[in-house]
Chain A
Amino acid sequence: MAATTYSLPKLPYAYDALEPAISGQIMELHHSKHHQAYVANLNKALQSHVAATTAGDIATQIALQPVIRFNGGGHINHSLFWLNLAPTASAEANPDSARTLVAEIDKTWGSLDAFEKAFAAALLAIQGSGWGWLVREDGPARGLRIVTTKDQDPVVGGEVPVFGVDMWEHAYYLQYLNGKAAYVENIWKVINWKTAEERFLGNRDDAFKALRASI
C-alpha cells in the first residue's frame, strides 16, 4: 500500500492578477510557501500513516490524525480558494456569471448586498485563524448557509463549498496590516462567481475535482 502523493496546484492566473485587491507578494508567498508547506506536510503525514498502518501501530495512526486534518485541510481549503478567486476585470468576477446562485442568495438573504454584509460580519467575528464559507447544505432543501471554520478545518461534512475566504493573517497582513475589514471589503472584487455557480449547481465531488487533479 502506497500513500497518495499530493502536489501544489498551479494557479489559473498570475500572482499579481488580483491586484489591487490582493498584492502579488501576498499571492506568491501564500501559494508558493504556505500552500506548498501544507502539501509537503500532508504527504509526510500520509506516508507515516501508511507505515504505521502496515506495522499495526494504532497509537501512531491516531497521533497522526490532527496532523492530517490540519495539513490536509490546508491543502483542500487553499485549492478551493484559488479557484474561487478571479481578476477583477474578468467576466468571472461579475455576479452576473452566477444567475442561479444569486437568485438563491436573494431568496435567502433578501439581496446580494445583505448577504455580503452577513458574510463580512461572520468573517470579522472569527477569533484567530480560520475561514468563512458559503456552503450549499446537503439534503433535499439544498439551502445556502454561511459557516466559519477554525484554523485549517475543511468543510467536509457533506455540504458543498461554494466559495471560501481565507481569514488567516498571512492572507492579508502584508497589504492590509491590522485593517482586516478593508481586506474583507475588497475580496468581493475578486470572487469568481463563475466557479461559485458551477459549485452551487454541482455536487461535492465536482467541487473537489481540483484536488484529484493535483494528485
Chain B
Amino acid sequence: MSSTLLRTAPVLRGALRAAGAGAIKPAAALASTSFVRGKATLPDLSYDYGALEPFISGKIMELHHKKHHQTYVAGLNSALDTIAEAESKGDHTKAATVAPLLNFHGGGHVNHSLFWENLAPASRDGGGEPSGSLKTAIDEDFGSFDTFRKQMNTALAGIQGSGWAWLVKDKQSGTLGLVTRANQDPVTGPYTPLLGIDAWEHAYYLQYENRKAEYFEAIWNVVNWNTVAARFEKN
C-alpha cells in the first residue's frame, strides 16, 4: 500500500531515500520497494520561508513546513513501521487498524509536497495566469480563468472544517474539475491533482486570523503555473 500511495505522487520521489541504497536513483529505488522500503523525508523548499511574503508570511511558512509537514512525515513513517511489523507477524487485523493513520499522515505528506511545489514567489514564477494548453483547457472546462478562480475560491470557502481544494484532471476524459478533500485525504482514484490549496487554519491563521477569504484571494499571487502546467501535460 505504501508504494501505491507514493507512486501516485511523482513529486515525492525526490524526497525518498531507499535505506542503505544511496546510489540508486529514487525512481529505481521505488521500483524495488517490495523488500526495502524507503523512508519518507521532509522535502526541501525551492524558496526561502519569507519568499512568499506579503501573501503568506515567513512565520507561517516556517511552521507549516518545519513543524506541520514534518509531523506528517514522522507519522507516515511510524504508521508504515507499525504495518510492516504487524505484517511480519501475520497480524493483518493490527495492520488494518493503522489504515486511518496511514491515510492521514500519508495524505498530509503527499498534499504538502504537492502544495510547496505549486507555489512560488511572486517575484519569480508565482502569480499571473496560465498559458498554453493549460489555459486552453481551463477556458474550455470552466469558461474562463476568472470563472475558474471564483469557483475554486467558493469551493475553498465551503469547506466545513479542515481540508483542501484541488484543480484536478480526470484521468479518463482529460477534463479539468474541482474537488475538495476533508482533512488530509489525498486526491486519488480517477483524478490527477494539478493545483492544491491548503484550507487548514494553520495555513493562514497567524496572518489572516478568521478572514480566510482574504487568504484565498491572496494566494493566487503565489501560484506557480509552470508546475501546474507541467502536471497537466505530463498526466
Contacts and interface: CB of A to CB of B under 8 A. Distances in A.
Interface residues of A, number: 20
B47 interface: no
Contacts of A34: 210
Interface string A122-151: 000001111000000000000000000011
B202 A66 contact: no
Contact of A127 (B63, B68, B104): B104
B104 A37 contact: no
A130 B67 CA distance: 20
A128 B183 contact: yes
Contacts of A178: 63, 67-68, 71, 202
Contacts of B206: 173-174, 177
Most chain A C-beta atoms within 10 Å of own C-beta, residue among B67, B100, B160, B200: B160
A205 interface: no
B85 interface: no
Interface in A152-178: 152, 168-170, 173-174, 177-178
A33 interface: yes
A70 interface: yes
Contact of B210 (A70, A151, A170): A170
A29 B71 contact: no
B161 A169 contact: no
Contacts of A174: 205-206, 209
B162 interface: yes
A70 B158 CA distance: 11
Interface in B54-91: 63, 67-68, 71
Given A169-B202, A170-B205, A129 B162 contact: yes
Contacts of A151: 160-161
Given A29-B209, A127-B184, A66 B100 contact: no
Interface in A52-101: 66, 70
A177 B161 contact: no
Contacts of A37: 210
Contacts of B182: 128
B63 A169 contact: no
A64 to B, nearest CB: 13
B202 A173 contact: yes
Contact of A169 (B100, B163, B184, B205): B205
Contacts of B161: 128-130, 150-152, 168
Given A173-B205, A178-B71, A66 B160 contact: yes
B160 A128 contact: no
A150 B160 CA distance: 10
Interface in A168-215: 168-170, 173-174, 177-178
A170 B202 CA distance: 8
B100 A127 contact: yes
A177 to B, nearest CB: 6
B63 A29 contact: no
Contact of B163 (A29, A128, A173, A177): A128
Nearest 10 CB-CB pairs, A to B? A151-B161, A128-B183, A169-B201, A129-B161, A128-B162, A33-B210, A178-B67, A70-B160, A129-B162, A127-B104
Interface of B: 63, 67-68, 71, 100, 104, 160-163, 182-184, 200-202, 205-206, 209-210
30 contacts: A29-B209, A29-B210, A33-B209, A127-B100, A127-B184, A128-B161, A128-B162, A128-B163, A128-B182, A128-B183, A128-B200, A129-B161, A129-B201, A130-B161, A150-B161, A152-B160, A168-B161, A168-B201, A169-B200, A169-B201, A170-B205, A173-B205, A173-B206, A174-B205, A174-B206, A177-B63, A178-B67, A178-B68, A178-B71, A178-B202
